[in-house]
Structure formats: C-alpha cells, structure tokens
Amino acid sequence: MTTAPDDQTTELPGRPPVVDLASWQAARDELLLREKAHTREGDAIAAARRRLPMVEFDGTVEVVGPDGPVPFLDLFQGRDELVVYKHMWHDGAPHQGQCEGCTTAAWHLKDAVYLNARGVSFAILTSGRWDEVAAFVEFMGYTQPWYSVRDLEEPVGGDMGYLTCFLRDGDRAFLTYSTTGRGTERVNGSIGMLDMTPYGRREAWEDAPEGWPEAPQAGSPVGGHGVPTCWYWRTDADGNATWGPTSRPAPQWTRPGATPVETLGRHGDCH
C-alpha cells in the first residue's frame, strides 16, 4: 500500500513534479514508446554492424603478456571471436596516474564468462611497457588477460581507448568492428544505470531541468580552474571529485587489498 500527501501539487525544488500514480503511469507509458523505438533502432544498428565488411591482418604478430611474446592469434584462446579493450597508457606514471576513464572501463570487465559461453574471448591491450603494465594489473587485482601492443600498428596496436572486435578463421585473423569515445560506454553498466535515475550522470553536457543538482566541481587537470567533470572517474578517498594530488581513478579506492596512500598525483605530474 502506498501513501501520498493530500496536496500532490506541491513542487519540490530540484525534484520531479509530484503527481498521482495514474498520472505517473501515463507519462511512463508515453516514454516507453520512445524507449521501445530506441531499442528497435539499436537492434537495426546491430544488424547492420553484423554486415560490415572485415579487414584481414597478420595474426602472427606478437604481443607481450605474462608468458612473454605470443602471437595475436593466441588471444582467441581457441575461440572464433575476440573482443578487446584498448587501455590508454601514460609511460612512467604511478598507478594513480593512469587513465581514469580506461581504468573505470576495465573495472567493469572483470569476468568474460558470458562472452566465453558464446564463443567469444576477451583481452585488454595497452601500449605500455610490459613491466609497467604487469605491475599495474597486479596492483588493481585484474583477472582478465592483459597484453602490451607497444610499437605495433593498427589494428592490433595503434590508438588506444577503443573497443574492438576480431574474427578468426583457422590461422587467419580479421578486424570486424571498432568504436571509441562514447561508443565504449556499453562496457560500463554503471553509466546505463545512472541514466535511469532522476538526476542522471550529473555531467555538464546533460540536458537536465532547471534547478537540478549541478555536476560536482573539481580542479581542472590543466590550469587548476574549477570545472564540471566526470566526477565518477577520479576522486579523493572521500569520494569527492578532484584532479588534485589526493586523487586517483575511482576504482582504485576499492581494489583488492586497497590501503591508504599518502602520496598521490595526477598523470600530468608523473611524466
């Protein structure tokens, strides 16, 4: 049983309007029509994605992992399909100075069991030197396979910050799809859930009603001025958005065996 105040027309500053359940359901049903159309368009785009042409490349090119150099074909682990996330890397930076966006994406990709069940393998590639990468992987407690693709060209190496798919046919390897920027958001389930909440992500670019809570302010990584930021990427130990010397990528505060760290720095201080 639900209860409601007698006067349901009272406006709450910075909150959605208050209505009765029937009015809410009518508004919800109207939005549902748009959501279903969005889902069907997504299905149509996925169908077009499956029809993209592909590019063959040398699958014997070697990447470096925990067992030393191995051919790229080994990353398929005997399966026919492979998805990789290309993690940006700052040479020589301490762990807290690595890319906060990529760290967050990798944190959401801890287990590939459902991919594996569909014949798809998963790995993370990065341009860092393997000795630095290995230390970072151990520090974070990652269990998915990581490899260094340093000095390798596309599509195995090249630009980082991409989600890329490959197909194998025996000893032949093919690039089938790649996306970057907001295209990689699908690996971050937290973002999708935030989009369902009344306040959303609280990022500066979002279309929010007047009076809604603004994005938390944090010092800019360049210039030190307060600017709206992707607050869930980099915080201090108390969860406050900041790019300052007490910050680190948000997942690092809850990594396995996390302990207080007194000396921190943003990546711009670490080269």
In this structure, of 57-61, 98-102, 152-156, the range with the lowest mean pLDDT score is: 98-102
For residue 8, is it within any domain? no
**At residue 224, does pLDDT exceed 50?**
no
**At residue 4, does pLDDT exceed 80?**
no
What's the whole-model pTM score? 0.86
| pLDDT score, position 205 | 81
For residue 271, is it within any domain? no
| pLDDT band (50, 70, 90) for residue 52 | very high
Question: For residues 178 and 202, which has the higher predicted lDDT (pLDDT)?
Answer: 178
| pLDDT band (50, 70, 90) for residue 60 | very high
Both tokens of residue 170?
A: 């025996």
Residue 68: give its domain's CATH number.
3.40.30.10
For residue 62, is it within any domain? yes
| pLDDT score, position 11 | 78
| pLDDT score, position 7 | 55
CA distances from 4 to 7, 19, 107 (A): 8, 9, 41
For residue 246, is it within any domain? no
User: Which long-range contacts (C-beta less than 8 Å, at least 24 apart) are formed by 246-251?
Assistant: 247/96, 248/95, 248/96, 248/100, 249/96, 249/98, 249/99, 249/100, 249/103, 249/104, 250/100, 250/103, 250/104, 251/103, 251/104, 251/107, 251/140
For residue 124, is it within any domain? yes
For residue 130, is it within any domain? yes
CA distances from 218 to 94, 223, 245, 263, 271 (A): 21, 12, 12, 19, 22
For residue 258, is it within any domain? no
Contact 47, 175 (CB under 8 A): no
Domain count for the chain, please give it: 1
**At residue 258, does pLDDT exceed 80?**
no
| pLDDT score, position 220 | 46
Domain of residue 153: give its range. 53-187
